[in-house]
Amino acid sequence: MDKTLHDRLTGWRRHLHANPELTLHERETAAFVQACLTELKIPFTANIGGHGVVATLTRGQSNRSVGLRADMDALPILETSGVPHASTVPNVMHACGHDGHTASLLGAAALLNDDTGWSGTVQFVFQPAEEGGGGAKSMIADGLFERFPMERIFGYHNWPGLEAGTVAVHDGPVMAAGNRIFFTITGHAGHAALPHLTRDPMIASAHLLLALQSIVSRSVDPLDSAVVTMATMQAGSAANQIASHAVMRGTMRTLRNEVRDHVEQAIHRIAEGVARSFDVSIDVQIPRGNPVTENAPAERDLAAEAVAAAGLPVRRDMAPAMTGEDFAWYLQQRPGAFVWIGNGPTDGGRELHNANYDFNDAILPAAAGYLASVAKRALG
């Protein structure tokens, strides 16, 4: 990539970073992407599954097609990075690098638009609402694959701690399946000095919290991976009252869908036992989130070949992460691959979802170059 395009992408990325928008509210972000595509003279369709944008490039006689995806939404985090292009929106920031993903995909579009050495159709998918907003499912439901045909789909996530510009291609799972967990524990309220006349939901909650910790250590095969974390608990409003109910919320993650089924069953079983033990009722809700993100074998190998063709270093030994990624929904519909591209050192808190995070603009050529390379390789 020449310096002129790199500088252009850096400017676009920093504009996006300074003007983040939350999940389901990416109206101006989508408008900016459309303006960039117009500047590049690449046709597009807007408002796919919400604020989604799909740009399309077709050349030559081939009927082969491929999709490339980037996400656009930000997080409800107050930025403390202190960079000149820091968020101008209070309590909203691009703490996961979706600004960089979007700029990278624009860069890939620019590279492929100027490259005459390929034939077929490339669909550039700019997705809203990745951070728990169901953006991938919404675009699929709005006819993404029917309206914009693609035989395969590819994407990436920047990865802090991995050497800048190095691409990690996983042979097995890349990211975990994730579920939210919600408990409502209902007892009987009363005076705190007369506990025998109440059924205390907080005591039941405490036992439930501890019992849940036995699932991973005693119910899951040690050779499998699982996480069960209860993150919040709320109960009561007065120091001299035993509350009528308590609410607990958390998350679970697994790397195999069979393990997810087993953990869900264990959560229900433990909740039923605690409810009987303390004479309370416990309502359990475990809405399923993203499935496991796992690359198709042929596309995984194609991605690794594309990395080499782009002149980038590759890693094939990275362990998966227990984070989730809704790119997994696309992989339920089409074969594809999702890779990590190193964002460089994490010094100063440049980890994902950290208030000091910032996407590394130096990797924009690598990211855009990889996306362009994998599209060309997929088109054969």
Tokens of 301: 């190998």
CB atoms within 10 A of CB 223: 5
Rounded to an integer, what is the distance from CA 263 to the centroid of its chain?
A: 22
Instruction: Name the pLDDT band for 245 (thresholds 50, 70, 90).
Output: very high
Smallest Cα–Cα separation from 156: which of 145, 172, 167? 167
pLDDT value of residue 356: 98
Write down all domains in the chain, each with its CATH number in brackets: 3-175+292-379 (3.40.630.10), 177-285 (3.30.70.360)
Three-state secondary structure string covering 250-308: EEEEECCHHHHHHHHHHHHHHHHHHHHHHCCEEEEECCECCCCEECCHHHHHHHHHHHH
Chain segment 279-313, per-residue pLDDT in tens: 999 999 999 999 999 999 999 999 999 999 999 99
- Contact (Cβ atoms closer than 8 angstroms) between residue 64 and residue 152: no
Q: What is the largest CA-CA distance in the chain?
A: 82
pTM: 0.93
- Contact (Cβ atoms closer than 8 angstroms) between residue 341 and residue 166: yes
Cβ-in-10-Å burial (0-12, 13-18, 19+) of 143 comes to: exposed
pLDDT value of residue 367: 98
Chain segment 195-236, per-residue pLDDT in tens: 999 999 999 999 999 999 999 999 999 999 999 999 999 999
Euclidean distance between CA atoms 69 and 179, whole angstroms? 23
- Contact (Cβ atoms closer than 8 angstroms) between residue 330 and residue 336: yes
**AA letter at 301:** D
Going by their DSSP bridges, the two strands 44-48 and 52-59 should be labelled as antiparallel
Instruction: Name the pLDDT band for 359 (thresholds 50, 70, 90).
Output: very high
